[in-house]
Structure 1
Amino acid sequence: MRLSFNMKFNAGLDGILNTQSKMNRAQDQLTKQTRILTPADDPAASAKVLGLDQNLEQVAQFQNNSVLLKNNLALEETVLTNMRTSIDKARSLAIAAGNGTYTESDRKAVAQELKNIQVELADLMNTRNAEGGYIFSGFQDKKQSYSFNQATGIYEFQGDDGQKALQISPTIALPGNDSGKMVFENVDARFKNTPAVISAGGATAAEVSVTDQSQFDAFYKQNYDSLTPANNDFSVALTAPSNYEILQNGVALVPPVTGAFVADAPIQFNGLTITVSGAAAVPGQIDFSLQAPEKKNILTTIGEFITALENPGLSSFEFNEAISDAITQVTSSASTIDSSLSSIGGRVNVLDSVFGTNEDLTINNKSYRADLSEVDYAAALTEITKQEIALEAISNTFVKVSGVSLFDYIR
């Protein structure tokens, strides 16, 4: 077989280029720290690496969401904790206001302190997060949570009941805020009865008041009828010679509630104290009803109590009712905030647990990815050295072979 000059040259060049390519590939593997430079190098491992990369990016986003979520919950927890301290102070002032020795000036001083607490609470309820959104406005976080209505004289909620959730795992999304509608608006006002009305007989005065709030609350929750309002009407029927019976919507209770009637002697009924005055009260009837339930936020509650403190014309009974309203409603607000803090704590626990799980998944996925794709440094360096030696040998051989010709043979 005849070998032309071009054939010898091309064969030598191909050998040099192939060896150079192998050395470059080994260098690229070492530089990029991967043995899979193209999917063709290992199709199966390449597909697995692609899936692992996507999973790692997803988990990284979950972790970013977790950090943001934890910061939001920490902010809300701080705000609610500070509010709880202020509410406890308001409750102490309401209890102190019941001191019979307080003068009008003392009550006004209490009212002034409560005004300061009201302003502080309003400011906390309008807290913004790092993005400038109001944390208690729900989805409407660009709206101020609470604003003062000059016409009604009360603070009104401006947001909605939405909760913004963030995904922290493929199946878990946790809300990073609580709406003021649930935390501050969903607070029951004190359950009460309407004032006593003398509908028959010669009684000169009658009074029905709540003296055991917890007992009355239990009775109220079991008996208030929002579908049939007449079932909320009660009466004290006074019959000769000197007896009484409690009726509901004109019908005797089961079992009957009866007893001996003595003018000005209190009648106890499920946390209510009923007092009827007048020698000619028998026969007769005293009517009262269960008031419809209300919900009031803490700002409204404090505002109403401030009004009562600054009104010297209130009777002792009316002022005591205002104190009872304030204490009960402030306590309910504190309980609602406690529930919200408990909910935040539960979410943080879940958040920490999922965050730790995601960290473990990240470590495992990176380890698996390394097993599939990372280059063996010793093997890569050995390959580079081998190809360098081969390249040098081929280059030297090429120089010698390319210089051989027929004229050299003749000489």
Structure 2
Amino acid sequence: MRISTLQAFNNGVNGIQRNYANATRTQEQISTGNRILTPADDPVASVRLLQLEQQQNVLSQYNSNLTAAKNSLTQEEVTLNSVNTVLQRVRELAVQAGNGGLDPQDRKAIAAELGEREDELLSLMNTRNARGEYLFSGFQGKTQPFVRGPDGSYSYQGDEGQRKLQVASSLNIAISDNGKSVFQSVTNAGRLSMSPAADTIVAPAVRLSAPLVNDEVAFAAFDFPAGGIEVRFADPADPKKYEIYEVGGSTVLSAGRLDEDDKSSDKLVFRGMTIHVDGVPSGTETFTVNRNGMEKQGILDTISSLRKSLENPATGNNGVRDAVAVALTNLDHGMVSVDQARGNIGARLNVIETTQTDNEDVALVNKGVQAELRELDYAEALSRLSMQTVVLEAAQQSYVKIAGLSLFNIMR
């Protein structure tokens, strides 16, 4: 085969350039510490690295969401702790107000502090987060959740939504609670009303308190008639004897007798309901118990009702006693609701903690796989560079010798 001088020169130059490019590329790998400089170096590993980087970015976003969720829940927990502290103080004031030895001025003093605690609770329930959104307004973060009306009652302006954040591929965690579920949907112990039957003449010294539902389990097990129940004192010979019927019914639901002590307030207990009876009936009275429709009552309305009872000079000892009894039971229900919300927050914080740990473990494995795919084996690269340097030097020296094999040099 005939090889021209030009072809020999081109082959030599191409060989030198190819060997020089190989050595330069190896030197660049060593200087960067990366085995893959372009996708062409290892297409399969390059695709896998891209997938791992995307996963790492998603984990970073999840970690940001976890931090935001933890901050929001921590603030809510602190707020609910403060609410619970205020409720404990309100309960102490309610117990103090139940002391029959207090005069109207003493009750007004208690009512004054109740008013201050009422304002404090209203402020806590309208707490904002760092973004200026209300904690307890559901999805309507810019709407103030609790508003006091002109008549002193409270209304909830938010919705029943619960804001959530995605903290894992298939896990969304609630970062807030709506105020209706925590502060408004509290079981009302005073949801029953008591009134004398239409044809009943009540003895002047007799008074029956509004029924108090103090055992929710027993009351829930009782199918309260839609028309209500009747408490009948129908034996003049034994005026303390009573029987309970469904309104208009003839079947005795319960029967009993009040205590013998005429000077004390007797209690009538039936299916989780308690009725205080002051005085001795004549034995001809009938009282009707009905639902008044207020199955739920907000914590603020409970405190407001107690405060108004204490502020009213016309409220006697019996009225104060009834108001305090309802308030204490409703406050206990309210604190149970707040404690349930705090327990749910604690459970979510535990989930956040374990999810953060899981994400850190996945990120660590992710980085390890990336290192195996991307990072350079320096021992192998240095050995390869040495070999490529030898080859390059050999190519350069051989090119010099071949370049000197010219016919003109012989003819000179």
TM-score range, shorter chain: 0.7 to 0.9
Mapped partners of 1:311, 1:403: distance in 2: 122
The residue number in structure 2 matching 1:15 is: 15
Q: Is the 8 A contact 2:214 2:329 kept in 1?
A: no
Q: Which sections of structure 2, spanning at least 5 residues, go unmatched?
A: none
Distance 1:154 1:213 in 2: 22
Deviates more, 1:173-182 or 1:186-195: 186-195
CA distance in 2, matches of 1:174, 1:199: 56
Q: What is the distance in 2 between the residues matched to 1:16 and 1:333? A: 87
State the shift of 1:174 in Å: 0.8
For residues 201 and 134 of structure 1, the distance between their equivalents in structure 2, rounded to whole angstroms, comes to 53
Q: For 1:103 and 1:241, locate their aligned partners in 2 and report how far apart those are by CA, in whole Å.
A: 38
* Cα separation, partners in 2 of 1:24 and 1:145, compared to 1, 3 Å: farther
Contact 1:163 1:177 in 2 (8 A): yes
Q: Check the 8 A contact 2:189/2:212 in 1, yes or no.
A: no
The alpha carbon displacement at 1:118 in A equals 1.8
**Which residue of structure 2 lines up, in the alignment, with residue 238 of structure 1?**
234
- The answer to whether the 8 Å contact 1:136/1:179 transfers is yes
Q: Which SS does the other structure have where 1:87 is aligned?
A: helix
Shift of 1:95: 0.9
Q: Deviations over 1:84-107 (max 9, x none)?
A: 111111111111112233333322
Confirm or deny: 8 A CA contact 2:231 2:286 kept in the other structure.
yes
Aligned to 1:195: 194
Q: Check 1:43–1:358 CA distance in 2 against 1; reply closer, same or farther (3 A cut).
A: same
Partner of 2:247: 249
Assess if the C-alpha contact under 8 Å between 1:238 and 1:261 holds in 2: no
Aligned twin of 1:345: 346
Partners in 2 of 1:235 and 1:211 — Cα distance?
11
Cα offset, 1:141, TM superposition:
0.5
Closer, same or farther in 2 for the Cα pair 1:134/1:203, shift >3 Å? closer
Q: What SS is found at the alignment partner of 1:160? A: coil
Which residue is 1:368 aligned to?
369
* Superposed displacement of residue 343, structure 1: 0.5
Contact 1:263 1:276 in 2 (8 A): no
In 2, the alpha carbon distance for the partners of 1:368 and 1:309 equals: 71
Give 2:64's aligned residue.
64
Alignment of 1:254-273 (within 5 A): 256-258=254-256, 266=266, 268-270=268-270, 271-273=273-275
SS in 2 for 1:238: coil
Q: Percent identity?
A: 32
Q: Give the distance between the partners of 1:105 and 1:201, measured in 2 at CA.
A: 37
Gaps of 5+ in 1: none
The letter for the 2-side match of 1:247 is Y
Question: C-alpha separation between the residues in 1 aligned to 2:323 and 2:404?
Answer: 116
- Per-residue deviation, 1:278: 7.1
Residue aligned with 1:128, SS? coil
> Where do residues 77-96 of structure 1 align in structure 2 (5 Å cutoff)?
77-96=77-96
- Cα 1:285–1:351 shift into 2, 3 Å: same
* Aligned residue runs from structure 1 range 272-291, under 5 A: 272-273=274-275, 275=277, 281-291=282-292
Moved more, 234-243 or 82-91: 234-243
- Aligned residue type for 1:61: Q
TM-score by length of 1: 0.88
Aligned to 1:130: 130
CA distance in 2, matches of 1:210, 1:163: 37
CA RMSD of aligned residues (A): 2.8
Q: Relative to 1, partners in 2 of residues 1:82 and 1:368: Cα closer, same or farther, differing over 3 Å?
A: same
Aligned to 2:383: 382
Aligned pair in 2 of structure 1 residues 31, 109: CA closer, same or farther (>3 Å)?
Answer: farther
- Does structure 1 retain, via aligned residues, the 8 Å contact 2:100–2:317? no
Deviations 1:388-407 (A, max 9, x none): 34334433443443344222
Segment of structure 1 superposing worse, 199-208 or 320-329: 199-208
Q: CA deviation at 1:236?
A: 1.0
Is 1:160 the counterpart of 2:159 in the alignment? yes
How far off its partner does 1:2 sit? 3.9
- Structure 1 residue 78, shift from structure 2 partner: 0.8
Residues 14-36 of structure 1, C-alpha deviations (whole Å, 9 max, x = no match): 11221122123223433443323
Could you say what secondary structure the match of 1:229 adopts? coil
